[in-house]
C-alpha cells in the first residue's frame, strides 16, 4: 500500500528543513526535456540485432548482445548519437531544483541535472563522474551531483551492459560506499526511476541486512497503471498486479511509494513542498518613524521583541531588513531566543539590511535592488506587516516601501499577515485584504484582533494561531 501525497509532502519537507533531503533521478526525470528513456535509447540498437524493443524488458542484456556483435565503442557511439540539446519547457526539474536540496544521485548519462542547477538557479555544482572525483570537493559548492552510471563525456565510465554491471562492485566500490552513506544519513526521493538496476539493489540489500528495522525511510514516486497505456484489459490487469507487488516489495528496503495518475502531478507535488518549506521562513516587513496614538514605546518594543523571540523559539527563521522602529526590536527577540534555547543563529535569523545612504537607495541600480528583493521573496513564504510609516517632506505617512513589499509578496503568492492595529501601511494592507477576505481564509477569524488589539501577548498568540492554520490547511 502506498502513502498519501499529503503525508509525503509533510515528511519530505521536514527532511529539507533538517538539511537531510536527497534526490535519486532516473531516466524519467529528464524525459520531459526531450531525453530518451532506456527503451528509446536502445530502440535502434534492438533493430540492428533484429530484436523488437516492444517485446524486450531486459535492457541490460539487450545492450550486452549488441556489444557482443559490434563492440563496446560502437555501442557507446550509437548511444551518444541519441543525445540532443534539451528543450526548455521542463517543469519537473525546475520545481525540484528550486528547493535547497544539496545531494543528487542519478543513473542518467546526460548533463541535464547539473546544467539546469547552474543555468536556472545559479548554483555552484560539484559533479562526481568517476570514483577519482570523490576525493576532491569543489569549495563553496551548493549541490553535489553523483553520476552513478557514468557521464556521456567519458564513454569509458558508462554502465550499460551486463559486463559493466558484473564488474561494477569491483571497479566502483568508493561510489557504492558513498551511496551507502547517503542512504543511511539522508532521506531520498526516487523520481523517474524504474528500480531495474541490480547494483542499486545490492546497496539497498546491504542496508536492509545491516539496519533491519532501524533503516531510514525513503520515498519513490510511481504512476499507477492506466488502461489507456495498454492494448487490452488483460495486459492492464497484469501490470496492475505487478505494480502492486513492486510497491510492497520496496517496503522491505524502507522505500515508501507515492502513487500518481499523471506525471504532471510530480511538479505540483514539489511546488507544494516548496510552499510548505518556505512557511518556516518569515519576512518581517515594517518600519516605524513615529508610533501611532494607540501605542506607546514600551508596548511596541515588548510586542516586537516577543514576536521575534517566539518565532525563533518555535523553529521559524526570521528575515528582516533591520528598518528603524521594527527590525532591531524583532532581531533582539530572535537573538535572546537563540541564546536562551541554544539555537543555531544562521537557522534563526537572516538580516537583509538595506544599504541606505542619507536615508535612500538612489546610489543602487535597479539590478542590484532586484538581487536583494528576489532573495527575500524567493526564500520566505510568509510576510508579517508591522507598523509601516515614514516621513515624506516632513509629513508622517504610510511607508511606500512597505506597500511595495505588500505588492511583491502578493505577486509571489506568499501568505500575508498584516497587523492593522499598528497603523501605517499595515493598516492599509489589512483594509485591502479585508475587501478580498475569501482569498485569505487563514485571516478570516482574526480580523478584529488584527485591526484593533494592541496587547503584545494577544497579538503574538493570534499570529501563531494564523501560522498553525496555514501549516495545517
More confident residue, 372 or 108: 108
DSSP lists the bridge partners of residue 357 as 360
> Residue 296's Cα: distance from chain center in Å?
42
Neighbours of 317 (CB within 10 A): 21
From CA 456, how far away is CA 198, in angstroms rounded?
60
Q: What number of residues does the chain have?
A: 473
Looking at per-residue pLDDT, the higher value among 89 and 346 belongs to 346
Reported as a single tens digit per residue, the pLDDT across 383-421 is 999 999 998 999 999 999 899 999 999 998 899 999 999
Q: What is the pLDDT of residue 40?
A: 79
Higher pLDDT, 364 or 245: 245
Helix (H) or strand (E) holding 463: helix 456-472
Q: Which three cell numbers mark 219?
A: 520515498
Contact 207, 217 (CB under 8 A): no
Q: Which residues contact 274 (CB under 8 A, 6 or more apart)?
A: 95, 98, 99
**Nearest C-alpha neighbor of 459 from the set 402, 381, 387:** 387
Span 172-180, average pLDDT: 90
pLDDT of residue 274 exceeding 90, the answer is yes
Query: Where is average pLDDT lowest: 14-23, 190-199, 286-295, 313-322?
Result: 190-199
Least confident of 9-23, 27-41, 301-315, 444-458: 27-41
Q: Are 427 and 434 in contact (CB under 8 A)?
A: no
| Catalytic pick among 149, 172, 218, 363 | 149
Q: What is the mean pLDDT of residues 97-108?
A: 95
| Contact (Cβ atoms closer than 8 angstroms) between residue 128 and residue 147 | yes
Q: In whole angstroms, what is the distance from residue 148 CA to residue 165 CA?
A: 12
CA dihedral sign, ordered 33, 35, 36, 37: negative
Residue 62 is placed in which grid cell? 539487450
Whether 85 shows a pLDDT value over 60: the answer reads no
How much is the pLDDT for 472?
84
| Percent residues over pLDDT 70 in the chain | 95
Closest CA to 401 of 323, 473, 349, 453: 323
* Residue predicted with more confidence, 198 or 408: 408
Report the range of poorest mean pLDDT among 150-154, 183-187, 372-376. 372-376
Rounded to an integer, what distance in angstroms lies between the CA atom of residue 229 and that of residue 148?
Answer: 30
Q: Measuring CA to CA, how many Å separate 14 from each of 82, 172, 205, 308?
A: 39, 32, 26, 22
- The mean pLDDT value for 369-381 works out to 79
3-state DSSP assignment of residue 260: strand
Strand partners, 143: 125
Give how far the C-alpha of residue 291 lies from the chain's centroid of Cα atoms, to the nearest Å: 40
Active site residue 149: yes
Percent of the chain with pLDDT over 90: 63
Least confident stretch, 198-207, 306-315, 327-336, 440-449: 198-207
Query: How far, in Å, CA of 374 to CA of 376, rounded?
Result: 5
What whole-number distance in Å separates Cα of residue 473 and Cα of residue 471?
A: 6
Q: Side by side, which strands form the sheet with 218-223?
A: 125-128, 143-147, 103-106, 21-25, 187-191, 218-223, 255-260
**Mean pLDDT across the stretch 260-267?**
94
Q: Give the DSSP per-residue string, 43-61.
A: HHHHHHTT--GGG---HHH
Q: Is 304 within 8 Å of 454 (Cβ atoms)? A: no
Confidence of residue 369 (pLDDT cuts 50, 70, 90): low
Q: Name the most confidently modeled range: 70-79, 81-90, 221-230, 422-431.
A: 422-431
Q: What is the pLDDT of residue 467?
A: 97
> For 120-271, where are the E strands, in sequence order?
125-128, 143-147, 187-191, 218-223, 255-260
pLDDT band at 30 (very low <50, low <70, confident <90, very high): confident
pLDDT digits (tens, 9 = 90+) for 130-162: 888 998 999 999 999 999 999 988 888 888 888
Amino acid at each position: 500500500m502506498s502513502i498519501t501525497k499529503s503525508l509525503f509532502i509533510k515528511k519530505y519537507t521536514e527532511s529539507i528543513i533538517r538539511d537531510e533531503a536527497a534526490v535519486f533521478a532516473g531516466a524519467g526525470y529528464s524525459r520531459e526535456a526531450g531525453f530518451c528513456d532506456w527503451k528509446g535509447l536502445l530502440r535502434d540498437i534492438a533493430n540492428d540485432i533484429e530484436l523488437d524493443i516492444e517485446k524486450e524488458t531486459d535492457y541490460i542484456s539487450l545492450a550486452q548482445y549488441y556489444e557482443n556483435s559490434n563492440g563496446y565503442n560502437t555501442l557507446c557511439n550509437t548511444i551518444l548519437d541519441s543525445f540532443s540539446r534539451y528543450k526548455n519547457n521542463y517543469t519537473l526539474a525546475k520545481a525540484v531544483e528550486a528547493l535547497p536540496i544539496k545531494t543528487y544521485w542519478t543513473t542518467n548519462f546526460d548533463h541535464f541535472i547539473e546544467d539546469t542547477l547552474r543555468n536556472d538557479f545559479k548554483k555552484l555544482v560539484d559533479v562526481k563522474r568517476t570514483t577519482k572525483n570523490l576525493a576532491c570537493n569543489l569549495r563553496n559548492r551548493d549541490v553535489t551531483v553523483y553520476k552513478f552510471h557514468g557521464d556521456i563525456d567519458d564513454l569509458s565510465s558508462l554502465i550499460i551492459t551486463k559486463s559493466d554491471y558484473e564488474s561494477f562492485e569491483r571497479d566502483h566500490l568508493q561510489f557504492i560506499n558513498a551511496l551507502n552513506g547517503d542512504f543511511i544519513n539522508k532521506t531520498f526521493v526516487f523520481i523517474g526511476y524504474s528500480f531495474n538496476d541490480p547494483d542499486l539493489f545490492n546497496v539497498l540489500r546491504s542496508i536492509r541486512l545491516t539496519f533491519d528495522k532501524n533503516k531510514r525511510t525513503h520515498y519513490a514516486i510511481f504512476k499507477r497503471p492506466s488502461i489507456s497505456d495498454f492494448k487490452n484489459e488483460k495486459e492492464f490487469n497484469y501490470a496492475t498486479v505487478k505494480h502492486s507487488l513492486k510497491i510492497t516489495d520496496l517496503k522491505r528496503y524502507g522505500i515508501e511509494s507515492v502513487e500518481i495518475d499523471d506525471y504532471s502531478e510530480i511538479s505540483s507535488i514539489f511546488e507544494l513542498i516548496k510552499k510548505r518549506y518556505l512557511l518556516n521562513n518569515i519576512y518581517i516587513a515594517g518600519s516605524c518613524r513615529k508610533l501611532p496614538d494607540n501605542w506607546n514605546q514600551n508596548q511596541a518594543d515588548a510586542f516586537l521583541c516577543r514576536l521575534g523571540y517566539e518565532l525563533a523559539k518555535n523553529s521559524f527563521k526570521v528575515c528582516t531588513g533591520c528598518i528603524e522602529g521594527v527590525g532591531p526590536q524583532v532581531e533582539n527577540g530572535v537573538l535572546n531566543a537563540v541564546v536562551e534555547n541554544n539555537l543555531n543563529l544562521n537557522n534563526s535569523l537572516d538580516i537583509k539590511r538595506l544599504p541606505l545612504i542619507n536615508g535612500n537607495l538612489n546610489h543602487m541600480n535597479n539590478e542590484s535592488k532586484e538581487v536583494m528583493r528576489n532573495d527575500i521573496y524567493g526564500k520566505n513564504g510568509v510576510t508579517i506587516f508591522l507598523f509601516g510609516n515614514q516621513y515624506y517632506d516632513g509629513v508622517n505617512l504610510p511607508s511606500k516601501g512597505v506597500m511595495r513589499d505588500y505588492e511583491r509578496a502578493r505577486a509571489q503568492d506568499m501568505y500575508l499577515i498584516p497587523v492593522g492595529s499598528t497603523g501605517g501601511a499595515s493598516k492599509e494592507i489589512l483594509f485591502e485584504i479585508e475587501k478580498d477576505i475569501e482569498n485569505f481564509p487563514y485571516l478570516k477569524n482574526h480580523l478584529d484582533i488584527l485591526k484593533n488589539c494592541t496587547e503584545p501577548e494577544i497579538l503574538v498568540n493570534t499570529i501563531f494561531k494564523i501560522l498553525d492554520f496555514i501549516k495545517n490547511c
